[in-house]
Amino acid sequence: MRRSKKLNKNQNTFSQKNNTVNCILLKLAFRNLFYYPKNTIILLFSVVFSVSIGLLGIGFINGLVLKRQTEKMDTSLAHLKITHLNYKSDKQSIFYIYQTNAIIQKIKKSVKIEGITKRINTRGLLINKAQNFPIDIYGIDIKEDKKVLQLSKYIKEGNTLSQKKDANVIIGKALAEKLTKKINDSLQIQCVNIDNKVVVFWCKIVGIYQVGQEQFSKTHLFLPLDFLGNVLFSKANEDLSHQILIKIKNKNESLSIKKRIKKMFQKENIDLEISTWIENAPDLAYWYLILDAFFFIFLGLIFFALGISLFNLMAMSVWNRKEELYRLYVLGVAQKNVQRLIIFETILLL
């Protein structure tokens, strides 16, 4: 019993001494930071510089990717797209969706969505005196299109399309500059209707949009849905379209909603293809992967720089203070306590 009491007393006194030594070493380490400000400033500057450069780089790339995604989402790419099974291959007019309005109503009842719209889409030629240009022609429903896409946000000159069946068109700024066209000028367009007949018609330019993608701006034209429907289909077939675009609240839920709509299609015997925005624009998904990789690379470089700077600080704190550390040894300070002093200085800098 007496031996155990003595051991407990010795352990208590040892722990008390150890705590007092640690307190003294912490105070010394804190003072040494101000006695040697050069090392402290260098380390702090390296940390701030590396972190700020990393954040700026990640923010810059993230901004580019988000801008590209926003432009695509606002002009042609929705969260979900429904088309004919053979439509994606060559965008021919004959591959249309029959009874579009009935399908839209069924989707609205079965799935919670923010917006849904239909579009007519075909390829054609822009006839010009010098040469003809291949173009992508879209017929959009002005009222419903605003709930899914935001084309009007990018119109820099003129106005958006009207609900009337007028022969109006919105073109990109890159195409307008290439053709030297202005507002109220006319364009001659050629395409093939569902009867496999070549149709040529004229349109008046009412608006010019501008996006960052020059190729998109050169090739994509937007016309009123009813007008393009009368060109490609007969007046009796007003319930035809080539695309049904869906906007949802959270784009990350696009895959789960796609599965629900697909099940509904199977029950109703509707033979259509539904695809997500990632499937329609794999380049955007690829950019997101690059962004994630870029983030981890920068994070690794920052930690690598921190490790080098910390090692440099510890090495320099020993090298530049050999005499001071020698005096501590002479005064009877244990080697472990000197090592603790150096470690405490490093921790305080962090």
pLDDT at 221 over 90: yes
Q: Is 241 helix (H, G, I), strand (E, B) or coil?
A: strand
Q: Mean pLDDT throughout 341-347?
A: 63
CA distance 223 to 53: 46
- What is the separation, in whole angstroms, between the first and last Cα of the chain? 47
Residue 209's identity, in one-letter code, is Y
β strands within 193-272, DSSP E: 198-209, 220-224, 243-247
Where is average pLDDT lowest: 222-231, 274-283, 298-307?
A: 298-307
Q: What angle do helix axes 282-319 and 322-330 make, rounded to 10 degrees?
A: 60
Q: How confident is the model at residue 313 (pLDDT cuts 50, 70, 90)?
A: low
pLDDT band at 11 (very low <50, low <70, confident <90, very high): very low
pLDDT tens-place string over residues 240-267: 889 999 998 888 888 888 888 888 888 8
Which band of pLDDT confidence, cut at 50, 70 and 90, is reported for residue 6? Answer: very low
Query: Who has greater pLDDT, 302 or 205?
Result: 205
List the structure tokens of 271: 């033979």
Q: What is the C-alpha to C-alpha distance for residues 80 and 129, in angstroms, rounded to an integer?
A: 39
pLDDT tens digits along 58-110: 777 777 777 777 777 777 788 899 988 888 766 777 888 888 888 999 888 88
For residue 294 the two structure tokens come to 């870029």
Mean pLDDT lowest among 44-58, 68-82, 106-120, 198-212:
44-58
343 pLDDT more than 60: yes
- Structure confidence at residue 208 (pLDDT): 92
Whether 341 has a pLDDT exceeding 70, the answer reads: no
Q: What is the mean pLDDT of the chain?
A: 77
Nearest partner of 69 among 240, 207, 251, judged by Cα: 251
Mapping DSSP to helix (H, G, I), strand (E, B) and coil, where does residue 130 land? coil
When pLDDT is cut at 50, 70 and 90, the band that residue 349 belongs to is low
- Which pLDDT score, from 0 to 100, does residue 14 have? 40
Residue 34 pLDDT > 70: no
pLDDT at residue 338 in the model: 65
For the chain, what percent of residues have pLDDT higher than 90?
Answer: 10
pLDDT band for position 10 (50/70/90)? very low
Q: Taking Cα atoms as reference points, which of 115, 52, 72 lies closest to residue 288?
A: 72
User: Would you state the torsion angle of the CA atoms of residues 18, 20, 26, 29, taken in this order, to the nearest 10 degrees?
Assistant: -90
**pLDDT surpassing 90 at residue 222:** yes
- pLDDT bracket for residue 18 (50, 70, 90): low
